[in-house]
Amino acid sequence: MTFLVISCPCALVLSVPLTYFSGIGAGSRRGILFKGGASLEALNNVKTIVMDKTGTITKGNFVVQKVVPAQGVPLDENELLWLAAACEGASTHPIAKSIINSYEERKTSAAKAGDFSLVAVGATVENIREQAGEGISAELEGKTILCGNVKLMERNNIDLSGYHGTPGSTEVLLAMDGHFLGHVDIADTIKADAKSAISRMKAQGLTTAMLTGDGQASADAVAQEVGIDEVRARLLPQDKLSALTDIREKCGAVMFVGDGINDAPVLAGADVGAAMGSGADAAIEAADVVFMRPT
């Protein structure tokens, strides 16, 4: 047991900031950067830990598992993958990078085998526009291309009756001039210490929740694997902030942990915002706490 003995007001004035300095210093030795004493003190009132999925609970190392052209569509796997890679060519999102890398690997392998039919990414795709939280729209020889999630397809009234997703996978869907073309299955890996970290949070009486823009099936699979209490999926960046506010009203003060540029508003709006040091600069800037060591 530790006792703090105060003999005069001067000692109190000195001891309080020294306590904060000590806490901030202890955190820094463990790779945790507190931007001030207020964030350190606010942690004492946190009742719920809310997390992003990609890059926070999972590694964000996406790998294309399979390419599935829709039935009756005159495109093979390589052509569908090229179209997805061409649309995602300007994006820095981990999912986009995995699609581009997968196509380039196929192109290189085909060239080594003497097949030069796979064209360069971005050869004829034009007017690429990002649809926040949904995907990409572009044009190919005057035709409108959509490349993104189910929400993007539904908003553009694409018939998905022929689409059958893979539970637990992240999927990128493609459509051309209002017709569904197929989808790309992508898998991510859960961080090795995610399950134990969630377990320790819950052992301290904290509630856990996950907010993600990914599909419900993928989000549910990850949450079940690591033991998260509440899941809210298919959220746009502005939806995450609304969901955080709702959780705060039900459970009390919240801490949000994220790493992406889309997480910046939520990090700023949480009682305590914590960013991964490997994340986007905007997320680190908006956060109160930064985890500097890789997990």
Looking at the annotation, which residues are catalytic?
A: 52
Which long-range contacts link 67-70 to residues 24+ away (Cβ below 8 Å)? 67/182, 67/184, 67/185, 68/182, 68/183, 68/184, 68/185, 69/181, 69/182, 70/162, 70/163, 70/180, 70/181, 70/182, 70/183
Closest CA to 209 of 226, 192, 187, 188: 226
Task: Using CB atoms within 10 Å of the CB of residue 105, give its burial: 0 to 12 exposed, 13 to 18 middle, 19+ buried.
Answer: exposed
Residue 241 parent element (H or E): helix 237-251
Q: Are β-strands 254-258 and 272-276 bridged in parallel, bridged antiparallel, or unpaired?
A: parallel
Q: What are the backbone dihedrals phi and psi of residue 15, each rounded to the nearest 5 degrees, phi first?
A: -70, -35
Q: Is 292 helix (H, G, I), strand (E, B) or coil?
A: coil
What are the beta bridge partners of residue 273? Answer: 256
